[in-house]
Amino acid sequence: MAMARQVLLLQVVVLTVTLLDTLAPTHANVEGDALYALRRAVRDPKNVLQSWDPTLVDPCTWFHVTCDADNRVTRLDLGNAQLRGRLVPELGKLERLQYLELYMNNLVGPIPEEIGELKSLVSLDLYHNNLTGSIPASLSKLSNLKFMRLNSNRLTGRIPRQLTKLQSIKIFDVSNNDLCGTIPTTGSFSKFTEESFRNNSRLEGPELMGFVRYDIGGCK
């Protein structure tokens, strides 16, 4: 009788663990789903995403994806891949992503605010696309970011003042867009030259503190 109880208890434990494994999404599943959302949102004429098979649990086996020792995605290298389409908010789920390299494609639409959730991000390279809309203020949460290159898109609106709080930033380039307002000069932006902002015909500055009001005039 005691043996039967032990066997029954063991079966219950095994069934419970199995159900928990089934119901609780693993990091690999969440990150694989996020990357596959990007694949669905773009056209891929060169088939560079051909290896992105959603039936594989681990996206670390996919080309152009790099992972760490814990099988967490740390790099996405898709520069100059001739991708056409939009960025997806699901990219914000790649919690350990350090390098988001999507430059020189034909990406359109806005930069998702969820990119600001990538707390490990070191490099954000979205230059030479056709991105529109404003620069999300949420990017100011990227405390480890060193390189932000958004140049040669069609971005509009003001440069968010929150970005001046990015202490680690070394390169900031928003040249060749349609930004407006004034150029920030405080905080980390004090070290950037006008080259970082050139060819924005509606952009004024740099700001003279106490002389130029940031919120003056229409700017969209």
Quick one: pLDDT at residue 14? 39
Quick one: pLDDT at residue 19? 38
Structure confidence at residue 205 as a pLDDT band (50, 70, 90): confident
pLDDT at position 210 over 60: no
Mean pLDDT of 102-107: 98
Structure confidence at residue 54 as a pLDDT band (50, 70, 90): confident
Instruction: With beta carbons less than 8 A apart as the criterion, state whether 85 and 105 touch.
Output: no
Rounded alpha-carbon distances, angstroms, from residue 8 to 3, 105, 121? 9, 58, 48
What is the enclosing helix (H) or strand (E) of 212? none
pLDDT at position 84 over 60: yes
| Peptide bond before residue 59 is cis, with ω within 30 degrees of 0 | no
Mean pLDDT of 181-205: 93
The structure's pTM equals 0.84
Mean pLDDT of 44-70: 93
Structure tokens at 126: 């979205």
Alpha-carbon span 198 to 208, nearest angstrom = 18
The torsion defined by the Cα of 159, 165, 166 and 172, in degrees rounded to 10, comes to 30
Query: Count of alpha carbons within 13 Å of 82, Cβ hemisphere only?
Result: 5
Quick one: pLDDT at residue 1? 53
Rounded alpha-carbon distances, angstroms, from residue 108 to 32, 150, 151, 182? 23, 13, 14, 25
pLDDT 10s digits, 85-99: 999 999 999 999 999
